[in-house]
Amino acid sequence: MSPPNLSRREWLKRASLLGAAAPLGIASLPAIGQLGWQAPEQLIPREATPGLPAKLFAFDPSLYRFTADEDVFLDDIEQASFLYFWEQANPKTGQVEDRGSADGGALRNASSVAATGFGLTALCIAARRGWEEDTAVRDRVRITLDFALKNIQHQHGFLYHFISGETGQRLLNSEVSPIDTCLFLCGALTCRGFFDDKEIQGLATEFYERIDWTWVLHGGPTLAMGWLPEQGFLKSRWDTYSEMMMMYLLGFASRTHPLTPSVWNEWQRPRFEFDEIVYVGAHAPLFAHQFSHAWFNFRGMHDKYTDYFANSIVATRIHKMWCLELAQRFPDYADDLWGITASDSEHGYAIWGGPPAMGRIDGSIVPCAAGGSLVFMPKECIRVLQNIREKFGKRIWKKYGFVDAFNPLTGWASSDVLGIDAGITLLMAENARSGFVWEQFSKNPEVAKGMDLAGFQPNSKG
């Protein structure tokens, strides 16, 4: 079996871009009003979001309500994405393939623990929506968690990035990955919150309490990005704004091996500026503004630095504006066709996006860029997804939903679906529709505890 293309985490580890930003002070972004979400069965009224830059927003984009037709469309996306996690998981171990053919097919036996974390959350959504029998879903959750505890190689509770879905053994000389382990943990905790099942709850708790967060500090002020048995800890650290917020919050709340809450102040929040709009940014693609938000509901909350939900709304709009500026070079980019984040490309896996521009951008469109931003700009993002499906049809819409990426200018389209890309689209679509993932994840007391220890407070309504 040939190794899969370079993954997000492998690239970040090797490039060390997350540690490249110089320390910058940052004033808090404008306060965002307390914002509710849709309960699974009944819409909860939302309050407006004050303080978004008037230059970018005439109204709060996150208040948009989907029409009945749009809701059906999102349900189609979610069901197709879920089918990936159901079929592209080893039925004996529950471990989800890192990537698979968009048309379906045999397992490749290269699983990623991050994809499995998204898959565990997908199982909760499927049970709630009735896409699979409850008994079968519960059995899959139990198998997945039990196998992870007993068979997947680990160091101090942290799992290797890539594993054999059959044996749980390390693959591709991959690193022990704190962020990928945390994505798995978020899925496990969502299951613990959703299923009234003592065995599932016990397995998820055991997995959480086995993790020694202090080990990954390795004597430093922030978490190391990974560990390799051949060389030890990687030099790069999780020391600047990115998708890693969930990792620190769950580390603070650990009952067995907690991180000191002061670590929250040790990572940088660099200021980026675009068209005279300042926001907290990252030297990473758009997913950096999405992943933690898939589970943690930051709406209406802020720490002493900023409001991260508002920040992601701003970052998403700026990303769209930047894509539209690229239309001078790539005429496919338009108001209803934009979005670039780490994905497949004609030349292999690509870490591309912006602003600032990174990677060899070639006019490709990555559906999960809009899909993963559905909670921030629902009207604009669903318009992109609808346009992609209607305009490009069977070329980009397969058994498991959207292919990972495609290029309207050259005719190229990926033949694969990536688990984490299908996963962020599925989770954010469900949160945008119902807030279900946020609700179930927040049933875990560690969620509120972690945010409290980090200094989060509700925004003022005044």
* Residue pLDDT, tens place only, 219-242: 999 999 999 999 999 999 999 999
Query: How is residue 145 written in tokens?
Result: 């968690």
Query: How is residue 304 written in tokens?
Result: 């002493």
- Rounded to 5 degrees, what angle do the CA atoms 8, 416, 116 make? 55
Q: At what angle do helices 68-87 and 378-392 cross, to 10 degrees?
A: 70
- pLDDT of residue 16 exceeding 60, the answer is no
User: What does the pLDDT read at residue 11?
Assistant: 45
Q: Residue 401 — pLDDT band, cuts 50, 70, 90?
A: very high
Looking at residue 53, its amino acid is: P
Q: What are phi and psi for residue 99, nearest 5 degrees?
A: -150, 160
- pLDDT of residue 393 exceeding 60, the answer is yes
Three-state secondary-structure class, residue 395: helix
440 vs 245: CA distance, rounded Å: 19
Residue with tokens 């007993």: 150
A 10 A CB-CB count for 46 gives 19
Distances (CA, A) of 198 to 138, 195, 234, 372, 446: 11, 8, 38, 32, 18
Three-state secondary-structure class, residue 379: helix
265 vs 221: CA distance, rounded Å: 9
Three-state secondary-structure class, residue 312: helix
CB-based burial label for 273 (10 Å; 0-12, 13-18, 19+): exposed
CB-based burial label for 89 (10 Å; 0-12, 13-18, 19+): buried
Distances (CA, A) of 227 to 6, 11, 95, 218, 366: 17, 15, 22, 10, 30
Query: How is residue 104 written in tokens?
Result: 């379906």
User: What number is the average pLDDT over the span 287-309?
Assistant: 96
Peptide bond into 221 cis (omega under 30): no
| Strand ranges, E, within 336-460 | 343-345, 348-350, 397-398, 401-402, 416-418, 457-458
Q: Residue 404 — pLDDT band, cuts 50, 70, 90?
A: very high
- pLDDT of residue 14 exceeding 80, the answer is no
What's the whole-number average pLDDT of the chain?
Answer: 91
Count the alpha carbons within 13 Å of 10 in the hemisphere toward its beta carbon: 15
Q: What are phi and psi for residue 427, nearest 5 degrees?
A: -65, -40
Q: Residue 462 — pLDDT band, cuts 50, 70, 90?
A: low
- pLDDT of residue 44 exceeding 70, the answer is no
203 vs 148: CA distance, rounded Å: 9
Q: Are 29 and 308 in contact (CB under 8 A)?
A: no
Q: What's the pLDDT tens digit per position in 94-107?
A: 999 999 999 999 99
Task: With CA atoms as reference, report the closest residue to 120 among 451, 459, 420, 449.
Answer: 420
- pLDDT of residue 2 exceeding 50, the answer is no
By percentage, how much of the chain surpasses pLDDT 90?
87
Q: Which residue has the higher pLDDT, 48 or 378?
A: 378
- pLDDT of residue 215 exceeding 80, the answer is yes
* End-to-end C-alpha distance for the chain, whole angstroms: 59
Task: With CA atoms as reference, report the closest residue to 319 among 360, 350, 362, 365.
Answer: 365
A 10 A CB-CB count for 217 gives 19
Q: What's the pLDDT tens digit per position in 239-279?
A: 999 999 999 999 999 999 999 999 999 999 999 999 999 99
Q: Are 332 and 342 in contact (CB under 8 A)?
A: no
Q: Which residue has the higher pLDDT, 89 or 40?
A: 89
By percentage, how much of the chain surpasses pLDDT 70?
89
Q: Residue 47 — pLDDT band, cuts 50, 70, 90?
A: low
319 vs 287: CA distance, rounded Å: 11
Q: Residue 306 — pLDDT band, cuts 50, 70, 90?
A: very high
271 vs 280: CA distance, rounded Å: 5
Residue with tokens 């053919």: 101
Q: Are 332 and 409 in contact (CB under 8 A)?
A: yes
Q: Are 177 and 161 in contact (CB under 8 A)?
A: yes
- pLDDT of residue 50 exceeding 80, the answer is no
CB-based burial label for 25 (10 Å; 0-12, 13-18, 19+): exposed
Task: With CA atoms as reference, report the closest residue to 123 among 181, 177, 204, 43.
Answer: 204
Task: With CA atoms as reference, report the closest residue to 176 among 152, 156, 160, 157.
Answer: 160
User: What does the pLDDT read at residue 460?
Assistant: 83
Task: With CA atoms as reference, report the closest residue to 351 among 4, 2, 6, 3.
Answer: 6
- pLDDT of residue 7 exceeding 50, the answer is no
Cβ neighbours for 280, distance < 8 A, ≥ 6 positions apart: 26, 29, 241, 269, 270, 271, 272, 305, 306, 308, 311, 315
Q: Are 222 and 238 in contact (CB under 8 A)?
A: yes
Q: Are 48 and 60 in contact (CB under 8 A)?
A: yes
